[in-house]
């Protein structure tokens, strides 16, 4: 428990990121219901959300809900540039950072927070600085671990911040909330809980860890028991940033359809590959990361004998790693990383990379 209390973690989440970037660059869209997407809604503005439109919904269904909906195509390169601006700011305040996607990430601010008047002051200054750089708003949460920081960033969204100082504050805040406030509790799991008369989070405190595991399975039961008590021992995954180049995306609505998975994998690969090329690296290792809706995660890698940056070879390897898993569960996160990096300039000049 002391370790949890001693850590101070910040989570930032950009508000309607893709849509906000498009509105910033085209002010005529302000105040109108817009979505960013092609066949699937990637992001919906708050005006669009009032009609029941949400990410992962088909554009066809979204238009039925809002006939005056404005559809803007995805411009990932543009969003990536803005994301790098934001990530550059975050890396200036802490070396221990973890970026979950273009629009959100964690930073361990334990070592620097005492240099500021208060956590509240720091959160406000952080939001102001991001707006100053990007003209975009974000929501911020500060907690004593990653779980509580992320949940705190949802409390006053959009354009706000919230702070959990300790487990007592966290439990006091969530105990009278509905079950669906818990991360990982989707519609189906919520129905299962409600069938057992678990309506509010306070109802779950009566159940022991053993009983939860018996009712919901060891993994889900233990997770549920810990989450409602604000217990989370996961670390900021910052080491990988210096060892590899890549990209990952967390989906608020888990991927189920094969075409959804293929589309997202394609976009994640393209962005990761563009980073590899822009930094003038070739790689020996390709890594695929998958996290499922039940929070189980897998990481699969392949190492080549000869380093390469040939896109066809890299993409083919990623697809093969995914296909070997025979995935049947909804996917919450996909990530692609290129490791064992070597600068092109340090390779022998007589190698023809196009033939590798």
Q: Does position 221 have pLDDT exceeding 70, yes or no? A: yes
pLDDT at 223: 87
Proportion of the chain above pLDDT 70, given as a percent: 93
Average pLDDT over residues 274-293: 87
Count of CB atoms within 10 A of residue 62's CB?
Answer: 22
Quote the distance between the C-alpha of residue 221 and its chain's center: 23
> What pLDDT score was predicted for residue 3?
42
Among the options 22, 47, 98, 104, which is catalytic?
Answer: 104
Average pLDDT value for residue range 163-179: 95
> What CATH fold (topology level) applies to the domain 240-355?
Dna Ligase; domain 1 (3.30.1490)
E strands, 66-150, are 70-72, 97-101, 104-108, 138-143
- The domain at 175-227 falls in which architecture? Orthogonal Bundle (1.10)
Residue 228 has pLDDT above 60, yes or no: yes
How far is it, in rounded angstroms, from Cα 147 to Cα 153?
10
Confidence at 217, pLDDT banded by 50, 70, 90 = confident
Q: What's the pLDDT score for residue 297?
A: 83
Q: What is the mean pLDDT of the chain?
A: 87
Say yes or no to pLDDT of 355 above 50. no
Q: Please write the tens of the pLDDT for every residue from 247-273.
A: 888 887 889 888 889 999 999 999 889
The CATH number of the domain covering residues in 1-165: 3.30.70.270
How would residue 118 be classed by pLDDT, with cut points 50, 70 and 90?
very high
Res 339: pLDDT: 85
Q: Check the CA dihedral 193-196-201-206 and report its sign.
A: negative
Residue 341 is predicted with a pLDDT of 83
Would you say the pTM of this structure is higher than 0.75?
no
Question: Taking 50 as the threshold, does the pLDDT of residue 2 lie above it?
Answer: no
pLDDT of residue 187: 79
Dump pLDDT digits (tens) for 172-193: 999 999 988 888 777 788 888 8
Three state DSSP letters for 133-187: HHCCCEEEEEECCHHHHHHHHHHCCCCCEEECCCHHHHHHHHCCCEHHHCCCCCH
The answer for residues whose C-beta is within 8 angstroms of residue 352's C-beta and 6 or more apart is none
Residues 6+ apart with CB under 8 A from 349: none
pLDDT in tens, 7-57: 999 999 999 999 999 999 999 999 999 999 888 898 999 999 999 999 888
**Domain residue ranges in the chain:** 1-165, 175-227, 240-355
pLDDT in tens, 292-349: 888 788 888 888 888 889 999 999 999 999 988 888 889 989 999 998 888 775 443 3
Q: Given this model, what pLDDT does residue 276 score?
A: 87
Known active-site residue 104: yes
Which is nearest to 32 in space by CA: 21, 47, 12? 47
For tokens 């979950």, what's the residue? Answer: 100
Strands 138-143 and 161-163: what pairing? parallel
Q: Distance between CA 151 and CA 146 in Å, rounded? A: 9
Q: What's the number of CA atoms in the CB half-sphere (13 Å) around residue 80?
A: 17
């Amino acid at each position: 428990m002391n370790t949890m209390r001693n850590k101070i973690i910040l989570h930032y989440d950009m508000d309607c990121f893709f849509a906000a970037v498009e509105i910033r660059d085209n002010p005529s869209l302000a105040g109108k219901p817009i979505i960013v997407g092609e066949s699937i809604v990637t992001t919906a503005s708050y005006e669009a959300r009032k009609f029941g439109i949400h990410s992962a919904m088909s554009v066809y269904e979204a238009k039925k809900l809002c006939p005056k909906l404005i559809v803007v195509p995805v411009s990932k390169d543009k969003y990536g540039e803005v994301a790098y601006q934001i990530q550059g700011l975050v890396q200036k305040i802490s070396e221990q950072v973890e970026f979950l996607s273009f629009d959100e990430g964690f930073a361990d601010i334990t070592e620097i927070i005492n240099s500021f008047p208060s956590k509240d002051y720091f959160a406000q200054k952080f939001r102001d600085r991001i707006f100053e750089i990007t003209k975009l708003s974000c929501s911020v949460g500060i907690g004593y671990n990653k779980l509580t920081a992320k949940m705190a960033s949802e409390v006053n969204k959009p354009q706000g911040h919230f702070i959990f100082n300790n487990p007592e504050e966290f439990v006091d805040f969530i105990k009278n909330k509905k079950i669906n406030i818990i991360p990982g509790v989707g519609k189906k799991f919520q129905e299962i809980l409600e069938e057992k008369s678990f309506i509010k989070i306070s109802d779950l405190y009566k159940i022991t860890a053993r009983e939860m595991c018996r009712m919901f399975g060891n993994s889900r039961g233990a997770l549920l028991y810990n989450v409602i008590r604000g217990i989370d021992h996961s670390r900021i995954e910052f080491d990988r940033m210096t060892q590899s180049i890549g990209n990952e995306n967390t989906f608020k609505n888990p991927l189920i359809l094969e075409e959804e998975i293929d589309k997202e994998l394609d976009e994640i690969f393209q962005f990761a590959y563009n980073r590899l090329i822009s930094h003038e690296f070739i790689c020996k290792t390709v890594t695929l990361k998958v996290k499922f809706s039940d929070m189980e995660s897998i990481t699969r890698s392949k190492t080549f004998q000869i380093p390469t940056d040939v896109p066809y070879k890299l993409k083919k390897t990623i697809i093969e790693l995914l296909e070997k898993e025979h995935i049947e569960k909804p996917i919450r996160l996909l990530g692609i990383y290129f490791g064992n990096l070597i600068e092109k300039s340090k390779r022998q000049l007589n190698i023809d990379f196009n033939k590798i």
